[in-house]
Amino acid sequence: MAVLPIVISGDPVLHRPAAPVTEFDEALSTLVADMFETCALAPGVGLAAPQVGVGKRVFVWMYEDEDHPDVPARGVAINPTLWIAPIEPGLPGEEEVEGCLSFPGERFALRRSNRALLRAQDLEGEPFEVEVDGWFARIMQHEYDHLDGLLYVDRLVHPESRGAQKAARSNGWGKPGLSWTPGIDDLEG
Ligand code: ZN
């Protein structure tokens, strides 16, 4: 297993749709194992393959939810689809502040749906589904967006959107080739 560099906002791999996984092979297992290790060290509650420079429809989550003991605290979703309940109208509250390992050290508030149904394949290609709500549903939406080339900062509304633009500018992001490595670079997402 290896810790992988995490690509920062501005690299094209983060801003285009990822391709479906067709081979459920050793290389995929290795990628997922490395993503778990990277996510744990970052630390993060989820990580999508484009964030480690791989344009494939794969994400992992690492999140323990006492309300949902039926949902594994760590899991991998391959070729997922996601259904969400309608998002409540209004501006996001303080408790809706989100972060992203590809926009490290910054946090902004975003409205999300409170319920999500994830259908995906596991490492063997077997289909499964999980239904989650609250913060778990937010994680699923955040990671799923990565597979469509969307960062959570792309969904922000004013004034949060302006704050994110300023943060990207002052950090010198928004260009290809930037990354940070958990355990080596002193950053947190
Ligand atoms: Zn993210």
Domain contains 188: no
Domain contains 182: no
* 126: annotated active-site residue: no
pTM (two decimals): 0.96
Domain contains 15: yes
CATH number of the structural domain spanning residue 109: 3.90.45.10
The pLDDT, as a whole number, for residue 1 is 81
Give buried/exposed letters for 114-144 (b at 16+ CB in 10 A, else e).
Answer: bbbebebbebeeeeeebbbbebbbbbbbbbb
Tell me if 84 sits within 8 A of 116, measured CB to CB: yes
**Residue 20: which domain range?**
6-176
The pLDDT, as a whole number, for residue 66 is 86
Cα(52) to ligand 1 centroid in Å equals 11
Structural domains in the chain (count): 1
Catalytic residue among 94, 143, 160, 188: 143
Domain contains 114: yes
Encoding tokens for residue 15?
């801003």
Cα(9) to ligand 1 centroid in Å equals 10
Give 52-97 pLDDT, tens digit per residue.
Answer: 999 999 999 999 988 888 889 999 999 999 999 999 998 998 899 9
Domain contains 1: no
* Strand, helix or coil for residue 2: coil
* Interacting residues of 178 by C-beta distance below 8 A, sequence separation 6+: 7, 8, 10, 11, 172
Domain contains 181: no
Intervals of the chain under pLDDT 70: 186-189
Domain contains 20: yes
The pLDDT, as a whole number, for residue 154 is 97
The pLDDT, as a whole number, for residue 68 is 81
